Amino acid sequence: MGARFLVDANVGIDFLNNKLPVASTAWLEWQLQRQQLALSVVVRIELLSWVGTPADVQLLEDFIAATPVLPLDEPVVLQTIRLRQQHRVKLPGAIIAATALVHGLPLLSRNTNDCRAVTGLTLPEPGEPGGLPA
């Protein structure tokens, strides 16, 4: 089927820590089962850098194994450079936004302030079509 959404680290961590609303958790589980989610390589790094219990780390590894990780390839690098030139976005956020743009995916994030001004980047709000349920 192919991914339909790029997941930011904050959504992944909140999902795995059961900090999302019940409807959002159920929606993400359904998307994960349907293989509709993808991660940026930066999100993979961020998730695996988190220190937790062995059970927490296993949960992260299982989540990542079930989710395609999109590479930091030349189109993403070039888009990242453009975003950093045009906006005051920190490098990890710029790479994640560039990955979403290059692959034409909406970015599921709980912190959209950094990327709201990025032209062409879809940041669905909770409760909106294509966004996490509220």
* In-domain check, residue 61: yes
Of residues 117 and 9, the one with the higher pLDDT is 9
Strand partners, 69: 39
pLDDT for 133 equals 56
Of residues 26 and 77, the one with the higher pLDDT is 77
Over residues 84-111, the mean pLDDT reads 92
Over residues 86-105, the mean pLDDT reads 94
Q: pTM of the full predicted structure?
A: 0.88
Q: How many CB atoms lie within 10 A of CB 2?
A: 9
| Structure token digits, residue 9 | 């680290």
How many domains does one find in the chain? 1
pLDDT for 104 equals 96
What is the C-alpha to C-alpha distance for residues 5 and 8, in angstroms, rounded to an integer?
A: 10
Q: Which CA distances in Å does 11 have to 15, 19, 79, 85? A: 6, 9, 23, 26
The chain-wide mean pLDDT, for the chain, equals 87
Over residues 71-76, the mean pLDDT reads 97
Residue 13: domain span: 5-108
CATH of residue 15: 3.40.50.1010
* In-domain check, residue 121: no
* In-domain check, residue 40: yes
Asked if pLDDT for residue 24 goes beyond 90, the answer is no
* In-domain check, residue 19: yes
* In-domain check, residue 102: yes
Of residues 111 and 70, the one with the higher pLDDT is 70
